[in-house]
Amino acid sequence: MYAYTGKILHVDLTSQKTHQQWVDEDFLKTYIGGVGLATRLVYDNTPAGADPLGPDNALCFAASAFAGTIVPVGTKYGVAAKSPLTGFIGDCLSSSYFAHMIKHAGYDALVIKGKADKPTYLFIDDDIVQFRDASGLWGLETWQTEEAIRAELGDETVRVASTGPAGEKLVLYANITNDRQRQAGRTGLGAVMGAKNLKAVALRGSKPIEVANPEELSRLCFELAQRAQGTATEKYRILGTPSNILTLNRLGVLPTRNFQQGVFEAAERISGEYMHEHYTEKAVACAGCPIACEQNVAVREGLYGGARTSIDYESLYANGPNCGMDYFPGIIRAIELCDRYGIDTMSTGVVVAWAMECFEKGILSEADFDGLEPHFGNHQAATALIEKIAHREGIGDLLAWGVKRASEEVGQGSDHFAMHVKGLEMSGYDPRGLQTFALGCAVGTRGPCHNRSLAYEADIRGEVDRFTADQGRGKVAKEKEEFAAVFDTLMLCKFIRGCFTDLYPEVARLYTLTTGIEMTAEELELTMERICNLKKAFNIRQGWTKADDWLPPRFLKDPIPAGASKGCVVKPEDLQMMIESYYEARGWTAEGFIPKEKLVQLGMADIAEEMGC
């Protein structure tokens, strides 16, 4: 077996026992790796109705098939569990050295169940698994945790994925941080770690990773790396994704003040261009990446002098215009706090924006905020709220549940502007001016996500009319989901997508040369459809109904007030029609369930037996 190890490590934190599961090439070809493999392992190891914060929820890490090889931007891992934020599949990914260390330690994936009786971290040292006392690490920030574990083990090469104080406090959108600045964000898997008393997973591996056809793979990878340093990725290398701020603002779909507007009057002052000129220190690459998109920024003086972190568009939108913030140092500090405490920057920004709107509408008062006055744009209040969320202090205890549950608790019509789908807070594209993406948000298995549904590309690039809906959008949304799944499963960074001429055959070829397992373009396409259906099957087993595929009221009732998307709204009848077209394109029933024969056709007969209708 090449590239793969054929071995999955199962860890029970309750009993402190481990066992190894051997898997064959057929299984690995069926689910490949990354998010695909991690989701299958969650499906197999997390029962229906499991408490996401209970011991039965399996937290599954899966390396990519390419991790540790020379395939550019292929050193990533997927991690999945039942999300405490949504109650559905929480499938996340991250990059860099932790990913290939999973392989070097001898595993394709890790399945972690149970709950330790005290703070613990796992140290997987090739074939030896240690359950180490993490009492002294409890309360440490993510960056501190990595450093402390390396110091304790006396080895700077150990790679660590940890949760921060927010995960320990069960903030439902806590994330997992590895290699200091890489996060598996969204859906709250850091809280799953916290609930298990699992502070971190540390890896040290020494096993080689061999590929099937090194000569031909080297040739292809050299070409790909050259393309990845060319014009198709220049925007990422120079400005990073924050360059999207001005584009989306001009199109009138930049979420502003909790999605009340689509144009931010101060966009220039929080743009990627402005950031590059005033705050960027350097661009950093993940392991095995020729692009280097990560923009490391720092505030050199003033109120937030010394703040430093890395910034991408989604973090910037959520904590910038969506909170009405035009003071860049304040945004940097807000994102730095999220990263240190281990909370998802996107959910945090949307939660803070919801709290700000509650304050401005008089639903929550200054007394509710312990004396803070969180008007939109008040960066000091925003950063104070992030501190409170991470430690569940005062109003932070409410906000730590996410906007869905917080708005249910507060009531008074605040659900109208609780910007989430299935409990996951929105990403940074206003779907009212991007109608295909509106569909993608509504039907997304983990919630509204620009990373799982690339439907916004069809809207923005003019493949469809972004202002109108039609019955063809279901097929577009399906294809864009499966396109994204290629990158999330194989795994490859999506920033390289412009470097392929014909994605499916080229990636299938890379896979075959790496693993020695024959894969055709058609098989790869079918696999992506399988992965998308697998996530849906997991959701159905956890109680999904058609009502979960919908958008927040604001998108259906409040038109965008100004800009190039002025007047846009998602009409409920249009959304309903697009959802029906999506179910039809997927071969599902009108109620959105998966027919038994569909699951069988996709090679998941065992799941068909359990749940197919």
The residues of the shown chain that bind other proteins, judged by CB under 8 A, are 95, 231-232, 234-235, 238-239, 241, 243-244, 246-248, 250-252, 273, 293, 312-314, 428, 450-451, 454, 456-457, 460-462, 467, 484, 493-495, 497-498, 563-565
ω into residue 611 within 30 of 0, thus cis? Answer: no
**Residue carrying the six token digits 């009319």:** 465
Nearest residue (CB) to other proteins, 99 versus 608: 99
* Cα angle 415, 416, 417; round to 5: 90
Nearest residue (CB) to other proteins, 25 versus 506: 506
Q: Residue 610 is inside which H or E element, if any? A: helix 605-611
Nearest residue (CB) to other proteins, 29 versus 450: 450
Minimum CB–partner distance for residue 151 and other proteins (Å): 30
Minimum CB–partner distance for residue 443 and other proteins (Å): 17
Minimum CB–partner distance for residue 173 and other proteins (Å): 19
Minimum CB–partner distance for residue 432 and other proteins (Å): 14
Minimum CB–partner distance for residue 97 and other proteins (Å): 16
Q: Between β-strands 109-113 and 7-12, what pairing exists: parallel, antiparallel or unpaired?
A: parallel
Nearest residue (CB) to other proteins, 146 versus 314: 314
Contact 331, 319 (CB under 8 A): yes
Minimum CB–partner distance for residue 177 and other proteins (Å): 16
Minimum CB–partner distance for residue 601 and other proteins (Å): 29
- What are the C-alpha distances in Å from 155 to residues 99, 134, 148, 202, 377? 18, 17, 11, 11, 44
Contact 191, 351 (CB under 8 A): no
45 Cβ contact list (under 8 Å, min separation 6)? 58, 60, 111, 113
- Among candidate residues 17, 157, 187, the one with its CA nearest the CA of residue 85: 187
Minimum CB–partner distance for residue 252 and other proteins (Å): 6
Minimum CB–partner distance for residue 234 and other proteins (Å): 6
Residues of 154-181 as b/e, b for ≥16 C-beta within 10 angstroms? eeeebbbbbbbbbbbbbbbbbbbbbbeb
Nearest residue (CB) to other proteins, 411 versus 462: 462
Minimum CB–partner distance for residue 276 and other proteins (Å): 8
DSSP assignment of 360-385 equals: HTTSS-TTTTTT----TT-HHHHHHH
Which stretches within 270-373 are classed as H helix? 272-278, 313-319, 328-341, 345-360
Minimum CB–partner distance for residue 487 and other proteins (Å): 8
410 alpha carbon, distance to own chain's centre: 27
Nearest residue (CB) to other proteins, 172 versus 484: 484
Nearest residue (CB) to other proteins, 232 versus 600: 232
* Cα angle 24, 29, 34; round to 5: 105
Q: Between β-strands 308-311 and 294-298, what pairing exists: parallel, antiparallel or unpaired?
A: antiparallel
Nearest residue (CB) to other proteins, 70 versus 492: 492
Contact 96, 286 (CB under 8 A): yes
Minimum CB–partner distance for residue 268 and other proteins (Å): 9
Burial (CB < 10 A; 0-12, 13-18, 19+), residue 24, is exposed
Contact 242, 321 (CB under 8 A): no
SS3 content of the chain, % helix, strand, coil (to 5): 45, 15, 40
Nearest residue (CB) to other proteins, 248 versus 602: 248
Burial (CB < 10 A; 0-12, 13-18, 19+), residue 145, is buried
Nearest residue (CB) to other proteins, 28 versus 246: 246
Find the length of the chain: 613
What is the C-alpha to C-alpha distance for residues 359 and 366, in angstroms, rounded to an integer? 8
Q: Which tokens in the block code for residue 298?
A: 């720092």
Nearest residue (CB) to other proteins, 52 versus 444: 444
Nearest residue (CB) to other proteins, 248 versus 426: 248
Minimum CB–partner distance for residue 490 and other proteins (Å): 14
